[in-house]
Amino acid sequence: MKMIFTQKTIFSIFVIALLGSATLAYGLSTEFLFKFDSANSPTGSTSNSTHIFIASPSNIEIFDLLGNSLHSFPAQSGTPYDVAVNSTHIFVTTNLGNIELFNLSGTFDTNLIVSLSTALGITLNSTHVFVVDAGSNNRVEILNLSGNIVDTVGAAELVDPTDVAVDSNGRIIVLDNDDDRIEIFDSSGNFLTSFASGGSFPIGVDVDSNNRIIVSDAVNMNVKIFDSSGNLLTTFGSFGTGDGEFSSPSGLTVDSNDRIIVPDSAGPGSMIQVFAYVTPSGGCSDCTSPTLGFDSNGRQFVSDGFTYNGLPVDVQYFFTSYPLNTVKVGVSNNAEFRIYENQGPDNISHFEFAFGLEKGQILSESLAVIEWDRDFTGKETVTVVDPNNILSNVTVVTTTETCGEINSSLCLIISINHTFRESLPFDMIATNVWDVKRNSSQNYFNHGIHIVGDSLNPADTTMVAFGSKDMRGLYKLTQIDSIEDTWIDEFGNIYQNHGNNKFIKISKAKEIKFDDYLSMHGYDRMDSSFASIKQDQTNLATDMMSKYYRTSIDNEESFSEINDIFAYEYVESHARVSENLIQQEISKSNSILEIKCPKCSEPSFVNLSDAVFFDNIPKDDTLIDDILQQEYLYAIDKFNHMYGYIYNHDFYIVESFETEKENASINVDVKESAQMEISKALQVFEQYGNIYAQD
């Protein structure tokens, strides 16, 4: 913009040179942060959450939030004057009356409008573009995002407008240079009020998160801050080239962190300087905390501020009664938080989500916490404080949406996916959120989240030194309950960890009873007399064998000591329904009997087919099947009991039947084989004891 110096301007410069600059004591002050170079006499500026954009006569420059130059690009035609930005485009006004659109990388897209007299200051909200149309028009044009003019503001009130801003209430604030005034209109363009700028050449205007109005004065070489009603709060800056000094401050901007960014369009270096509010003693520049629902005055800003696995709740101030939500170990869960911040969602810098709190505990005592942080450059980080490995698969996604039905402002949405690896001792959960000014609020939710299921974590172990009389030395303990923090040693003693590896025994190992060491005969196997008892049992067994087994034991192979036996070989068993196997076993039995019992084939034995049973029932009676079955089972049982262990290796057929001898039915197709087996069994009995000759 071409600067015109009048007699009033020269006088003002003279006064400033004599008096210098003073900061007014209105309870608010600022401090210089840093400065960085611009290529050529910057005239306008803007910012978003990640970048600073500077307009100068030669090009548009893009810096990060620390002032590091990233990129620059020229206007498509004409000389740039001011710049604005939204989520998709960079808007640039030029001296030709154009508004040019570029993408965020600086590539030209289109001309939004080309019909203005002189396009100067520009600003945006979510739906409209506000641009100063100076020269012959001296008004503010309101355009939609397609470039169509939808309204005109200040045609009757403005004399020489230079810049425009829109506060959070939708008020349109216009800087009128020639009148040295700030003119304020409502969102519909109706004039509300005006007040003196207090300077000689006001050139740039913007508003902060509290709707304070900040004005740069190119002649007085300072910046003034007014409240939303036009009361002067403070002034900073003076003539010079040092930190906090200006040669000609131009179109300033206020970023999302309330930093005041002031381009200096004259003097050496063409500097951009950055300032911040200083919280005064006994007060603060922004005392409002972010909230998930209600504030301390009972005002609700958010609906459904907390949702867990699809179950929403309106968050009260500090404490919210939330129905118990039961979840399973190993299953993914989602928690969503809707957070309102009076300075906008970009000013939320920290959030915590804590689990497993007991009534009366505070957030810092939680066993597992998910933390989200965002620094002033917009970089987001996630930290999981989880010493006991309670959580896994943690992901955090942030977006912005309206705060619900009761508030159309934008809220920060934090969505946290997570999985529990084991349960926690308590169910309460808590949140903590703060903004860039460290205004914070905490919320506690009862009953909270109850976790069920077996732990996915391996049991913890530790080595502990004991010095008691019954336990002395280093012992390995294994955790058996992470909730109660109980542990067990290798002997079965149970301990509780009282912190700092102080383990207190709470249960002794099960005392070993005498019966645990007894043999089947009731004698302690550890007793010194057990060997003699075992010998007595051996002698008794030998006597029984001698009675029923007429062959001398001395002629047999000696038995192995029981302690020398490493394995037992079991005789193969077959089901009785197999006819072929039965016939094979019968043949084996006959061969063995011919060798072991040559008299078994003599005709003196009664033929079973001619026999009359012991209760004189004829064989053709209808009950003969039942009696035959009983005799068969009885014979097998007796034979096994008396001889089965001796002739285990000889009489295979008897063992073959043993697996199903408890079955009360006999298959019809093996009846004859069963009769033959009974006959053979009776012959054996006759040979070795004459036990059943009468039957």
Q: Are residues 210 and 339 in the same domain?
A: no
Domain that holds residue 412: 306-452
What is the rounded CA–CA span in Å between residue 149 and residue 136? 17
Q: How far apart are the first and last CA of the chain?
A: 135
What is the rounded CA–CA span in Å between residue 233 and residue 666? 111
The C-alpha torsion from 213 through 46 and 32 to 3, rounded to 10°, is -80
Q: Are residues 103 and 20 in the same domain?
A: yes
Per-residue confidence (pLDDT) for residue 25, from 0 to 100: 38
DSSP letter at 534 equals: H
Per-residue confidence (pLDDT) for residue 4, from 0 to 100: 35
Q: Are residues 370 and 405 in the same domain?
A: yes
Cα–Cα nearest to 47, from 66, 28, 34, 29:
66
- The answer to whether residue 420 is domain-embedded is yes
- The answer to whether residue 569 is domain-embedded is no
Q: Are residues 478 and 594 in the same domain?
A: no
What is the rounded CA–CA span in Å between residue 643 and residue 681? 11
Per-residue confidence (pLDDT) for residue 24, from 0 to 100: 43
Residues 650 and 592: beta-carbon distance below 8 Å? yes
- The answer to whether residue 293 is domain-embedded is no
Residues 364 and 395: beta-carbon distance below 8 Å? no
What is the rounded CA–CA span in Å between residue 221 and residue 16? 9
What is the rounded CA–CA span in Å between residue 241 and residue 268? 8
Cα–Cα nearest to 39, from 74, 14, 1, 91:
74
Cα–Cα nearest to 651, from 599, 580, 601, 589:
589
- The answer to whether residue 294 is domain-embedded is no
Residues 462 and 501: beta-carbon distance below 8 Å? yes
pTM of the model: 0.44
What is the rounded CA–CA span in Å between residue 165 and residue 172? 6
Q: Are residues 156 and 175 in the same domain?
A: yes
State yes or no: cis peptide before 350, omega within 30 of 0: no
The strand ranges marked E within 436-588 are 440-452, 461-467, 472-481, 486-488, 494-497, 503-507
Cβ atoms within 10 Å, residue 501:
11
Cα–Cα nearest to 448, from 383, 372, 353, 373:
353
Q: Taking the chain (695 residues) in consecutive chunks of 10 residues, what is each chunk's mean pLDDT? A: 36 36 54 85 90 92 88 91 94 92 93 86 94 90 92 90 93 88 92 84 90 91 91 89 87 91 77 81 65 84 93 91 91 96 90 92 91 91 93 96 83 96 92 91 91 87 78 81 80 84 78 47 55 75 69 50 46 51 68 61 44 48 60 64 45 39 44 66 60 39
Q: Are residues 236 and 327 in the same domain?
A: no
- The answer to whether residue 103 is domain-embedded is yes
Q: Are residues 547 and 648 in the same domain?
A: no
93-125: b (≥16 Cβ within 10 Å) or e: bbbbbbbbbbebebebeebbbeebebbbbbbbe
Strand partners, 237: none
What is the rounded CA–CA span in Å between residue 482 and residue 477? 13
Quick one: angle between helices 671-688 and 579-596, nearest 10?
Answer: 20
Query: What does the H/E/C string look like for 417-434?
Result: EEEECCCCCCCEEEEEEE
What is the rounded CA–CA span in Å between residue 362 and residue 56? 53
Q: Are residues 220 and 351 in the same domain?
A: no
Q: What is the CATH number of the domain that holds 409?
A: 2.60.40.10
Phi-psi map region of 154: left, alpha, beta (phi>0 left; psi -120 to 50 alpha) = left
Per-residue confidence (pLDDT) for residue 8, from 0 to 100: 36
DSSP letter at 662 equals: T
Structure tokens given for 411 = 């809220």
Per-residue confidence (pLDDT) for residue 598, from 0 to 100: 59
Q: Are residues 386 and 443 in the same domain?
A: yes
What is the rounded CA–CA span in Å between residue 82 and residue 163? 9
The strand ranges marked E within 168-291 are 172-176, 181-185, 191-196, 202-207, 213-217, 222-226, 232-236, 238-239, 245-246, 253-254, 260-263, 271-278
Q: Are residues 642 and 498 in the same domain?
A: no
Number of domains observed in the structure of the chain? 5
Domain boundary among the residues 407, 426, 452 is at: 452
For 439-472, give the DSSP string: -EEEEEEEEEEEEES---SPPPEEEEEEESSS-E
Cα–Cα nearest to 113, from 143, 85, 90, 147:
147
Per-residue confidence (pLDDT) for residue 466, from 0 to 100: 78
- The answer to whether residue 695 is domain-embedded is no
- The answer to whether residue 572 is domain-embedded is no
Q: Are residues 314 and 414 in the same domain?
A: yes
DSSP reduced 3-state for 582: helix
DSSP reduced 3-state for 688: helix
What is the rounded CA–CA span in Å between residue 311 and residue 308? 5
Query: What does the H/E/C string look like for 1-58?
Result: CCCCCCHHHHHHHHHHHHHCCCCCCCCCEEEEEEEEECCCCCCEEEECCCEEEEECCC
Q: What is the CATH number of the domain that holds 68?
A: 2.120.10.30
Per-residue confidence (pLDDT) for residue 67, from 0 to 100: 85
Q: Are residues 632 and 663 in the same domain?
A: yes
Helix segments in 64-221, DSSP class H? none
- The answer to whether residue 12 is domain-embedded is yes
Per-residue confidence (pLDDT) for residue 591, from 0 to 100: 72
